[in-house]
Structures are given as C-alpha cells and as structure tokens.
Amino acid sequence: MKATLFFVALTVVCPAGTLAQSKIEVSDLQHHPFSVSFPSGSKLRMYLRSGDFRVVGSDENKITVKLSGTKADDARDLTVRFKPSSTEAELSVFGGPKNDLQVTINVPKNSGLFVRMPAGELRVEGISGDKDVELHAGDLTISGTNPADYSRVDASVTSGDLEAPPFGESHGGLFRSFHKAGTGKYHLHAHVGAGDLTLN
C-alpha cells in the first residue's frame, strides 16, 4: 500500500474554525474511506465528474464521501482530492465508472457551496448556506429552499423545465429563468444547460 493512501484513509483532524493546510487525495473508497474535518460555516468549492451525485447537509463538522450502487466495488479508480486554504476548500471527484454508481457527499449543513458538474443527476439536500450550482446537462434538484433564507435568488435553464414551487415559479422551454430578492442572508444561483432544474 502506498504511504499516501494510508494517510488519506484516516480522518484528518484540524482545530475548530480552521482548515487543514495540506492536500489530501484518496482512491478505492470502498477500502479507504474518505473523511476530513471541515468547520461549519466554511465555503466549499466542488468540481464533480459526470454521474449520479448527492450532496447532503449533516450536523457533523466534517466531509465524508461514500459510494453505493452495483458498481461500488469496482470503483477503485474513482478519486477524491481535497485542497484546503485559510478561507475555503476545494473538493474534486474524478475517475471511476459513471453508470450504476451513486456518490454521496456529506458536508456541514450550513456550508457555503460552489458546485460545477458536466452531466448527470445532481441533488443538493439540507444545505442552509449560500449555493452556486451549475450542471451542464441533466437533472439538478435543490431541496429545502425556503425563500425567507435568501436575499437574492436566480435560477435558469437554457433548455428544459424549471420548477420552483416555494417561489411560485414554473417554466418550460428555452431560456427560462427567474430572479427574486428577499430579506434573508444567503444567495442562491442555480443553472442547468440542457435538462431540468427543480427547487423545492
């Protein structure tokens, strides 16, 4: 076993309110679980490969990445890379089979999220902080969107359906979008190129 794999298989602990200062990379998640401390309220930038992803808010101050589905045991080439800085962190997921595999990423529930993904199905659930999420093609669902939480909301699809019942919006076709202003403290930006965007 390579030394780097042994290191990243462990939980990385850092003091409360700070981010660790070294890059972490792990593959073969079924045998080397990924878990790293991450302070609540911090900003996380995610760059995800195409596939089936869930980003779920948690009460724990850490990030974990787990695999499920019929190809989970064959996903040895799927790699997670975590790069922290003094103010935010970056998480990248790449490699591995794209079909019959679901990747679940748990993060502190009030994290600020920036997510970019080429194609597939992406679900963001139970995150109360800022969100800036874009999917080039596929289905994007952001759950738990309370309009009272936001000072600014913009959502759009280039081609597809845009459904946002909490905001009283329902659109379909080409170049559909809406913008809202409110009294909350968070910002929400969501965009899908070709596919469906749902805010609920």
pLDDT tens digits, one per residue of 168-184:
999 999 999 999 999 99
Give residue 7's pLDDT: 34
| DSSP, residue by residue, 77-144 | T-EEEEEE-SSEEEEEEE-S--SS-EEEEEEETT-EEEEEEEEEEEEEES--S-EEEEEEEEEEEEE-
Quick one: pLDDT at residue 11? 42
Quickly list H helices, the chain. Answer: 3-8
Tens digit of each residue's pLDDT (9 = 90 or more) over 109-119: 999 999 999 99
| Cα–Cα distance measured from residue 186 to residue 163, given in angstroms and rounded to the nearest whole number | 20
Task: Name the pTM for this structure.
Answer: 0.88
d(CA 199, CA 177): 12
Question: Digits of tens for pLDDT over the chain (200 positions)?
Answer: 333 333 333 344 343 344 555 899 999 998 899 999 999 999 999 999 999 999 999 999 999 999 999 989 889 999 999 999 888 999 999 999 888 999 999 999 999 999 999 999 999 999 999 999 999 999 999 999 999 999 999 999 999 999 999 999 999 999 999 999 999 999 999 999 999 999 99
